[in-house]
Amino acid sequence: MNPPPSEPHAVPRQFIYHLLPQADWDRARATGVYAPAGLAAEGFIHCSTIAQLAGVAERYFAGRADVVILRIDPARLSAPVRYEPSEPGQLFPHLYGTLELEAVAESRRLDFDSEDRALLPAQWQPAPGAGRPRAASGALARKDDHGSSPAMD
């Protein structure tokens, strides 16, 4: 399996996902665009593939009742998406620009079970045996890459 594209303007052929507090999503819907503080600080918005989503949700949002999942269609984005190393051996999608709301195919509240496991919509579950995008061996990762703030951006 080949890793997703990593060129500056490559657009993957799968949905990508972003987690954010409900208040931030409400603000974005009121203004028509989502540009979190992390975009100005880091230059991109942290996203995940479906195979990475539950792990990111559990790591950074467990126990919260105010989290929204955005299902983003990369083909509708004007800003580039790059898959870059983050956690050891994994490539995460980073959106290098604001998120136009037209690119959000769906938004849903994120729920957790009693053991703080993320409950993702059944139709969003990764296919059995689906691998996570992998970085080349030896790639370095920043420990806080997907936790730069409590809101993931």
Domains of the chain, by residue range, sit at 16-124
Q: What is the DSSP letter of 122?
A: G
What token pair was written down for 62? 């467990």
**d(Cα 100, Cα 94) in Å, to the nearest integer?**
15
Question: Taking the model in full, what pTM does it have?
Answer: 0.75
Amino acid code (one letter) for 7? E
| Higher pLDDT, residue 49 or 2 | 49
pLDDT tens for 53-95 read: 999 999 999 999 999 999 999 999 999 999 999 877 899 999 9
**Do residues 37 and 124 touch, judged by C-beta distance below 8 A?**
no
Identify the pLDDT of residue 88.
Answer: 77
Choose the CATH number for 16-124 among 1.10.600.10, 3.30.70.20, 3.20.170.20, 3.90.1150.10. Answer: 3.20.170.20
Lowest-confidence segment of 34-38, 50-54, 125-129 by average pLDDT: 125-129
The DSSP bridge partners found for residue 71 are 17, 106
